[in-house]
Every structure is written in C-alpha cells, then in structure tokens.
Structure 1
Amino acid sequence: MLPKINIRLAENRVNTSVAVNQRVPKIFTPGEIISEQKEFMRGHGTYEEDVYLKASVAGVKEQVNKLVSIRPLKSRYNGEIGDVVVGRITEVQQKRWRVDTNSRLDSILLLSSVNLPGGELRRRCAEDEHMMRQYLQEGDLISAEVQNVFSDGSLSLHTRSFKYGKLSQGVMIKVFPSLIKRSKTHFHNLPVGASIILGNNGFIWISSTVSNEEDNVGGFVQNLEEVVPRTDRETIGRLRNCILALAQSKIMLYDTSILYAYEESLKYNVADLLIPEAMVDISILTQHKLNLSENA
C-alpha cells in the first residue's frame, strides 16, 4: 500500500512565521526611534543619538521604571548566575570539560564542580582526573546550573545537586533562548507521563518521567539498556512537535503553555503535527487558552 502524500497548493499554504497572539508587541528595528532620551535611561539593545533613544537590535521593548531596553528576538544565550542550562560536552581538558550551551563561547564545567559517582564529597585527586572521560565524554548531554559568569561572557557551570548531571534517553530541542519563560523551576514532571527540562539557554530536554531521583548516583548513570515503552516514546514525540509548533509562532514556552498545546494536539496523529496547518491550529488554540487563563 502506497504511503499517503499530502501536497498543498501555494495559495493554500500557511505563513507560519506570523505570530498568533492578538496582543503582539511592537517590534523595533535597528535605528528606529524609541523615545526622547531625556525621558528614559538607556538599557541593553539601545543607543543614544542626538536627543533620541534608538534601538540597536531588532526586538521588543522592555521597560522597568525609566530603564528601557530592547530584547532581541534572535540572539545567542547570555547567561546569568542561577540559570538552568542543558548542554553538550565538546571537549575533555585538564580538570575541566568544555560544554556547548548555545552561548558565544563554550562554557566550563570544572572537575571540582561535579558530584562524583556515589555523591561522595572529597578532594579531587589525580586518579579522578584520569577517569574524567569515564564520567563525561564528548557528545554527552548534561543539565547544569550557571555558577559564575566570566568577564568575557563565558560561563562556569556546576552539577552539585542530584537533579543535575548526565542526561540519558530522551530528545533535545533547540529554540531561541528568548522564548523560554523564566520561572522558579525549570524541571517539570508533566502529568502526561514525561519529564521536561526547559533550559534558559534554549535547549529543551524531554524524557520519560523520572521515577526516583536517588537512582541517579551522582548524575553519571545513563541507563541505555533500559527499554522505553512505545507509549512513552509517542508522548515524547508529541511533546516535541508541540514545542516546535509553539516556538514557530513565537509563543513563550513554560509548563502551562506546553500542556495546553499537548491537549489541543490529541486530535492529530503525532506525525501530522509537523504539517504547517496543524502547527498553526495548535498555536492559535493554545494562545486562546492562555489568554483566557490570564483574564480569569
């Protein structure tokens, strides 16, 4: 039996780059006048020219009292202390790992900033340094927290809490960091049967629900032999496609918006969620739900 082929005419195609939020803020372009300088203070993404405050990047206006800044729609991740990030090990060096965290420079994870297997707290010795590649090697995915920001913008990470460490079986998605909503926690066990880590750096990790964090043994266990049930894989795939739909329509990503999108996606098959019309439909219905909950 031949597979079903979906062909759309050009006139029927949907422009998925159009934001679906009816209250879309004004987007300033570089060089556009924001206001007169005497009224406001200059923040990130702005510059002074004559008596005016102008945008230096394309983005939306953010104002705190009299401080005005422009938040770019597309940018690299600028880390802040305390941020939760998902990253990929790119290199093993002396007493440190280099980690890709979607920022301008690779981040640093020191050997002294991780919990060794078993969670034991002790001084790191030469033997630990020789075994670094057994703990984390190139290509491994980790969750971590930003411990420090250096003067050149690079980040120092740590995984001293048991909720951080090596990530095992799941799916990673990359979105713009500006779409990740800052909240008290970025680790969520969703009621649909999956766990999600919303990295402030724009990397999102989806996996089966973590049943017991104590089995993590220092954050280095990868349980690759464990078979993920088909239902869990379908849930992970559905969540992935829902997040891509929301990100394409520039909707902020947090646990509530993702759950709303998941509920609206149940009328589609997992593979059909990649059709542009379905992605826009889910985004519109999700935004409508979010507006109703905000006004309630």
Structure 2
Amino acid sequence: MSTNVKFRLASDRVNTQILTGDRIPRLYTPGEVVTAQQSFMRGHGTYVEDDDIKASVAGVMEQVNKLISIKPLKSRYVGEIGDVVVARITEVQQKRWKVDTNSRLDSVLLLSSVNLPGGELRRRSAEDEQMMRKYLQEGDLISAEVQNIYDDGSLSLYTRSLKYGKLSQGILVKVFPSLIKRRKTHFHNLPCGVSIILGNNGFIWISPTSTSESENDGGFTQNLSEVIPRADREVIARLRNCILALAQCKMMLYDTSILYAFEESIKYEVHELLNQEAIFDVAFLTQHRLRLQEI
C-alpha cells in the first residue's frame, strides 16, 4: 500500500471517529439559523433576528434546558474560579504583576497573593514592593490558580499554595483552551519521568520530574544552569509532539490521553511525529485505547 493511500486511510479514520462517539457535532456558521422556535432563550454566541436565533460565531451548539448557545471552535480563555493556569509575567506594576493568561484581558497577580521567599506569612512592606522584580520579572513563567474574576472579565490570580510558583526549565506548549479537559488535578508526574501542568488556559508546561519537584514549591529561585540529560530532553520533545498531534486532531487533552499517545508513539522517532501520517496514526490508536477503557 502506497504512503498516500495509508495517509488518506489514517486521516479518514481520525476525522470520522475522533469526535464524540461516531456522531460529528453540527457546525454552525455566523448568521446561520440555529432554531426558529420562539420558546428558546438565546445564550452566548447567538443573536435574535426576525424571531430566529442565529449564530454569531462559528462553533457547535450547546443546549441547557431552553437556553441555546454556540461554543466557538477558536476562542480566548474564559476563566473560572479555581482554574489552574500556566501564565507569563508581562509587566511589573505597583503592588501587582500583569500576567498573560491567553484571555481577552491581562490578568493580575497581587503582591499579597504570592508566597514570599521562605513561606513567610506577614504583611507586605514597602521593602517587599521594591523587590518585586527580584521575585518575578517580565518573561517569567508561573503556575497559578484563578482566585477571582473582576467585573470586566479579567482574572485575579494567586500562588499562595505550595504547588504553585515560578517555573524553571521545560517546554511551553500552547493549544486551544477548549481542548483541556477539566479534572480534579492538573499536575501530573508521568511514568516516563516527565511532569506536566495542564493549564485550563491552554498553556501546557512540560518539565523533568526532578526539576519540577525541586522548584515547584512556591519559591522564586530558578536553577537554569542545571544540565538536563539528553534522554530526558528527548522524552520531553516526544511528549510535546504527542500533545500537538492530539491537538491537531481535536482530541481532549488530559493525563490518560497524553500517556496513551506517548506509548503509541514509541515506534516512531521524535522528528517523525511531525509527519501527518504519524500524527493521524498516533491519534487514532490513542482514541481506540480510550474507547476500550470506557467499555
């Protein structure tokens, strides 16, 4: 069988089976009539025209009782209280940091919402305010939790828990936030020797387990001089390619699906996972294993 034929078969299997069950959700385009029944209420992503509810964005319909909304296929992150996020510091301001969380507006991390070095529990002083850039500066990556949502939709973060703080060595992978499956925990140490943080905002952090355990204590130190062994870097690169493969096939990302994809990818070299045929093959085999698990 030629390579082109195998590629087409693999892509057909994924495209027809990768979504929920064997049923592909109905895709609505902007301006298309969702329903003509006046008994329904319009939700996000819809508008009313000539007594019809129409889609204002491209996406799939979600219905809760009589409320109809359109969930866009591509959108910025809309945060919820308690969400785990991986974010980047963009600006140091008075008593706060501005943070990029992949949302419509910049998020805020208050000085009072972080652990001071040593885990001290005390009031923040003027000296602490002067040392803010020493704690976190522009470009630093952090893991945090959404503490509050302001009236304009911007988020307030905090890192007071010991599992949050500045991130050290690793790789940042960006995917659509809608592909991150909400779970009880978003911090995982995988059997392959790598730790991942699945941010609800679509930012995924991959790092060696040893580094993650030593740095992920809410502190502000980074050991960027530590040499990561080549074997660990290859595992991280393979995991990164697996995550991008699942994301390209619009599969939900969580610890089980990522681990299955990693195991199915062993037969390929790391660089081969960038080829479309390998991407579809890994995604299809991962989906098959996930279905067997549900039976």
The two structures have a TM-score, normalised by structure 1, of 0.90
Aligned counterpart, 2:273 = 273
2: distance between equivalents of 1:37 and 1:201?
Answer: 35
Aligned counterpart, 2:253 = 253
Aligned counterpart, 2:165 = 165
Q: Percent identity?
A: 72
Aligned counterpart, 2:235 = 235
Q: CA deviation at 1:211?
A: 7.4
RMSD over aligned Cα atoms: 2.3
Q: 1:177 to 1:212 in 2, by over 3 A?
A: closer
Q: CA deviation at 1:13?
A: 7.3
2: distance between equivalents of 1:290 and 1:62?
Answer: 24
Residue range with higher mean Cα deviation, 215-224 or 76-85: 215-224
2: distance between equivalents of 1:85 and 1:212?
Answer: 16
Q: CA deviation at 1:146?
A: 0.8
Contact 1:173 1:203 in 2 (8 A): yes
Q: CA deviation at 1:60?
A: 1.3
Q: 1:133 to 1:16 in 2, by over 3 A?
A: farther
Contact 1:88 1:99 in 2 (8 A): yes
1: distance between equivalents of 2:23 and 2:270?
Answer: 30
1:112 correspondence with 2:112: yes
Alignment of 1:20-35 (within 5 A): 21=18, 22-35=22-35
**Which amino acid counterpart does residue 102 of structure 2 have in structure 1?**
N
Contact 2:81 2:146 in 1 (8 A): yes
User: What is the number of residues matched between the two proteins?
Assistant: 287
Contact 2:245 2:283 in 1 (8 A): yes
The DSSP-based 3-state class of the residue aligned with 2:82 is: coil
Q: CA deviation at 1:24?
A: 2.4
Alignment of 1:1-296 (within 5 A): 19=15, 21=18, 22-210=22-210, 213=213, 216=216, 218-294=218-294, 296=295
Deviations 1:123-163 (A, max 9, x none): 00011111111110111000111111112221111000011
The DSSP-based 3-state class of the residue aligned with 1:117 is: coil
Q: CA deviation at 1:53?
A: 2.0
**Which amino acid counterpart does residue 125 of structure 2 have in structure 1?**
C
Deviations 1:54-88 (A, max 9, x none): 21111112222332221111011111111111111
- Structure 1, unpaired ranges of 5+: 1-7
Contact 1:86 1:203 in 2 (8 A): yes
- Structure 2, unpaired ranges of 5+: none
